[in-house]
Structure 1
């Protein structure tokens, strides 16, 4: 890794076996998130580290990739090995046509 670069994965390569960790705030999550994603706001991560699996691939996602990159770096520094940043975040997820659902289960939007 060079400087602040963290391992990443294109959103098109994230499959159902990958633990998708959404670190956005509650209002962003309710507006629209990836089906099957797990919500854990970035600021709550240190207190909830045990919720993030260490035995499978983890992709971390936010709106555009900045917050999730910070979380990936934090997890790597705390012993996680199979963790990657979702390139382009939820904006890219939506742009390539992957599904987005709101908190009510209806089609959502990325804010």
Structure 2
């Protein structure tokens, strides 16, 4: 069951698993960790945009789109969500507990390193 922290919706593990199953209605889910962390292990199918890149790409993101952010423990992803909310984004949320709480499938390697945000639906 989701809850709110500092004005940001927090998504818990079981809800994230459901969102991953029904990706047609799901928000765009983005891993915001660093490349080495992502390569070590990430949720399959999630793109990587490191937290430090967001100030550079914020103008390329669709403010009407729904986003959910994932990191190691939920701290950096919370900060990305708060940053975007401060930039006028309405529907941003955080995966509470991050990869430390994740017990689902994990993939290693550089599966999807975003070089151009146009690669991700909902980003122009």
Q: TM-score, normalised to structure 2's length?
A: 0.71
Higher RCO structure (Cα 8 Å, ≥6 apart): 1
Q: Which ranges of structure 1 fall in alignment gaps of 5 or more residues?
A: 106-111
| Equivalent in the alignment of 1:13 | 15
Whether the 8 Å CA contact 1:57–1:82 is kept in 2: the answer is yes
Q: Report the 3-state secondary structure (helix = DSSP H, G, I; strand = E; otherwise coil) of the residue aligned with 1:84.
A: strand
Q: Report the 3-state secondary structure (helix = DSSP H, G, I; strand = E; otherwise coil) of the residue aligned with 1:24.
A: coil
Distance (whole Å) between structure 1 residues aligned to residue 61 and residue 83 of structure 2:
12
Matching of residues 79-94 of structure 1 within 5 Å: 79-94=88-103
2:42 to 30, 33, 36: 33
Q: Which ranges of structure 2 fall in alignment gaps of 5 or more residues?
A: 112-124
Distance (whole Å) between structure 1 residues aligned to residue 47 and residue 110 of structure 2:
15
Whether the 8 Å CA contact 1:19–1:38 is kept in 2: the answer is no
Matching of residues 94-109 of structure 1 within 5 Å: 94=103, 98-103=104-109
Whether the 8 Å CA contact 1:21–1:37 is kept in 2: the answer is yes
Alignment length, in residue pairs? 101
Q: TM-score, normalised to structure 1's length?
A: 0.78
Matching of residues 20-99 of structure 1 within 5 Å: 20-94=29-103, 98-99=104-105
State the Cα distance separating 1:5 from its structure 2 match: 5.2
